[in-house]
């Protein structure tokens, strides 16, 4: 299980891959966006670096339960308008990609 062996029942961004791939069924490249969306919609401090199991379950039930996987990615990307993805919605995704992908260090 994802929270197995965690004494405080929390998970940080570095260990969030399995939440994306196994629980939410979305590619792990979206893990930072999902992590930040959960913090925002669960009304956590924006500087918080960990989520609880309850935060994740509550978010999943409210936002993802019963919707197709592609629509989950759409919901994560569409920041300003839930009906449209705009070019600026990709800014955080690209920033994360550039910061974490070793093959893109030259950029």
In a domain, 5, yes or no: no
Instruction: Give DSSP secondary structure letters for the chain.
Output: -TTTT-TTSEEEGGG-HHIIIIII-S-GGGHHHHHHHHHHHTT--TT--EEEHHHHHHHIIIIITTS-HHHHHHHHH--S-TT---GGGGHHHHHHHHHH-GGGTT-
When divided into structural domains, the chain yields a total of 1
Structural domain range at position 66: 10-104
In a domain, 54, yes or no: yes
In a domain, 46, yes or no: yes
In a domain, 1, yes or no: no
In a domain, 80, yes or no: yes
In a domain, 4, yes or no: no
pLDDT at position 82, please? 83
Q: What global pTM score does this model have?
A: 0.84
pLDDT tens-digit profile, the chain (107 residues): 666 656 788 999 999 999 999 888 999 899 999 999 999 999 999 899 999 999 999 999 999 999 998 899 999 998 788 888 999 999 988 888 888 877 766 76
């Amino acid at each position: 299980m994802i929270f197995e062996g965690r004494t405080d029942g929390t998970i940080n961004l570095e260990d969030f891959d399995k939440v994306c791939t196994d629980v939410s069924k979305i590619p792990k490249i979206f893990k930072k966006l999902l992590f930040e969306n959960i913090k925002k919609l669960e009304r956590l401090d924006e500087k918080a670096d960990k989520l609880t199991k309850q935060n994740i379950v509550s978010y999943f039930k409210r936002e993802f339960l019963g919707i197709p996987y592609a629509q989950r990615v759409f919901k994560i990307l569409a920041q300003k308008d839930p009906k449209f993805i705009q070019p600026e919605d990709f800014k955080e995704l690209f920033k994360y990609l550039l910061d974490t992908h070793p093959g893109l260090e030259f950029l």
